[in-house]
Structure 1
Amino acid sequence: MWHVRAEIAPAILLVVDFGGWYRLDSKSWNGSSLDMIRHTQVSLLKDVIVPYTHLLPRLQLSEKKRNTLLYFKGAKHRHRGGIVRENLWDLLVNEPGVIMEEGFPNATGREQSIRGMRTSEFCLHPAGDTPTSCRLFDAIQSLCIPVIVSDNIELPFEGMMDYTEFSVFVAGDDALKPTWLMDHLRSISEKQKEELRRNMAKIQLIYQYENSHPGGIGPISPNGAVNHIWKKIHQKLPVIKEAIVREKRKPPGVSIPLRCHCT
């Protein structure tokens, strides 16, 4: 995909996040900045963040007691962006009320992940190789309140929903202070947690791509991910048109930084 980046840059890109776009192309890097994806080629102004496909099934809202405070399943070590995760792991692994498991919710770890997320109040979501992952959307389907440890993260459908209504956001520096994160989570009342889960239950369908028809044949859900992606694209169009007009009307010889790579 890297060799066609200039050709596809003007399109509205559907990306799960921008985490892998700002790195150097290691296969062709020769020290030139031309080998780096520029911020105008992928842009929050023109592109659309879409959700990862969740791997765990949807859980209906109930009053069943959750006995674990905080749950995380994933890799401790990541290739990029994993320093906070590694330090958090060391900080939390022996904490009472916390379960930190190595692995992924694939064929061998799926039941373990379902059990862990469905019996935990909060699910930890630190950035790793990319800012987001299917873990966040598995937590939403499991009604496990996401604890998002990231100072800069792009999330799907922002502006169409408010993530603070069902998630907890934590700065990386705060999360790495001894006892700070656990004290913060324990300070959240039962009433607040119930409200966060109720709000989460209202938006679970927004992250689902399937239409529940046999073989996937049939109309898509009006409240599902596909329709929300189209709505988000529709929201982007006036801003893109404005950026194109601004670029075309600048006087000859004047250099103004592009707002996005739009044509």
Structure 2
Amino acid sequence: MEEGFPNATGREQSIRGMRNSEFCLHPAGDTPTSCRLFDAIQSLCIPVIVSDTIELPFEGIIDYSEFSVFASVSDALTPKWLANHLGRFSEREKETLRSRIAKVQSVFVYDNGHADGIGPIEPNGAVNHIWKKVQQKVPMVKEAVIRERRKPAGASVPLRCQCI
């Protein structure tokens, strides 16, 4: 793999590396477009999530602690801490984590398997979960708009939800 901008070859090499790895690092600062977490889950590679305050996709639906390893930033920056921590996992524990990953893989499926995209979507896939999340947030957004409209001039109304 060469340093530089991502391309199809680099992405394929990265995915191949994940498929041959037991653990896949997901450091703080990973972006939705970099896809490391998604690729790790699709590759049955145990995510190692390094962050103190990360927000993960579909957290209300799946519990990442059931199939991922979490490390604080300070621990991960301590020399040899992460390697020692991961080295303590037995083969049985790693297999258990991988079997749990397999159970949640469908949550991260964005396409429906049809080349043209026309057809039914995965009932437990990402698209349906995104629509469920939108459905949950719409009433909160409507309430926030109504509160904002009715407040007296010059008054500030604190936000009650993280709705946008």
Q: TM-score, normalised by structure 2?
A: 0.82
Deviation at 1:149, TM superposition (A): 1.0
1:228 and 2:132 correspond: no
| 2:89 aligned partner | 188
Residue by residue over 1:174-204, the C-alpha shift from the partner in whole angstroms, topping out at 9 and shown as x without a partner, is 1000111111111222222112111111111
Hey, which of these two has a bigger chunk of helix by percent? 2
Counterparts of 1:11-30 in structure 2, within 5 Å, are none
1:157 corresponds to which of 40, 52, 58: 58
Q: Cα RMSD over matched residues? A: 2.8
Counterparts of 1:71-220 in structure 2, within 5 Å, are 102=3, 106-128=7-29, 130=31, 133-220=34-121
Deviation at 1:132, TM superposition (A): 7.1
The answer (yes or no) to whether the contact 1:124–1:148 under 8 Å persists in 2 is: yes
Specify the SS of the correspondent of 1:153.
coil
Cα distance between partner residues in 1 of 2:74 and 2:100: 28
Deviation at 1:123, TM superposition (A): 0.4
> CA, structure 1 residues 232+261, in 2 after alignment: closer, same or farther (shift >3 Å)?
closer
Deviation at 1:159, TM superposition (A): 0.8
Specify the SS of the correspondent of 2:25.
strand
Give aligned-pair identity as a percent: 72
> CA, structure 1 residues 207+129, in 2 after alignment: closer, same or farther (shift >3 Å)?
closer
The answer (yes or no) to whether the contact 1:131–1:153 under 8 Å persists in 2 is: no
The answer (yes or no) to whether the contact 1:131–1:154 under 8 Å persists in 2 is: no
Residue by residue over 1:50-90, the C-alpha shift from the partner in whole angstroms, topping out at 9 and shown as x without a partner, is xxxxxxxxxxxxxxxxxxxxxxx8xxxxxxxxxxxxxxxxx
Deviation at 1:121, TM superposition (A): 0.8
Relative contact order higher in (CA < 8 Å, ≥ 6 apart): 1
The number of residue pairs the alignment matches comes to: 163
Cα distance between partner residues in 1 of 2:58 and 2:159: 24
> CA, structure 1 residues 104+169, in 2 after alignment: closer, same or farther (shift >3 Å)?
farther
Specify the SS of the correspondent of 2:8.
coil
> CA, structure 1 residues 130+220, in 2 after alignment: closer, same or farther (shift >3 Å)?
closer
Deviation at 1:112, TM superposition (A): 2.3
> CA, structure 1 residues 254+114, in 2 after alignment: closer, same or farther (shift >3 Å)?
closer
The answer (yes or no) to whether the contact 2:147–2:157 under 8 Å persists in 1 is: no
Q: TM-score, normalised by structure 1?
A: 0.54
Cα distance between partner residues in 2 of 1:169 and 1:231: 27
What are structure 2's unaligned runs of at least 5 residues? none
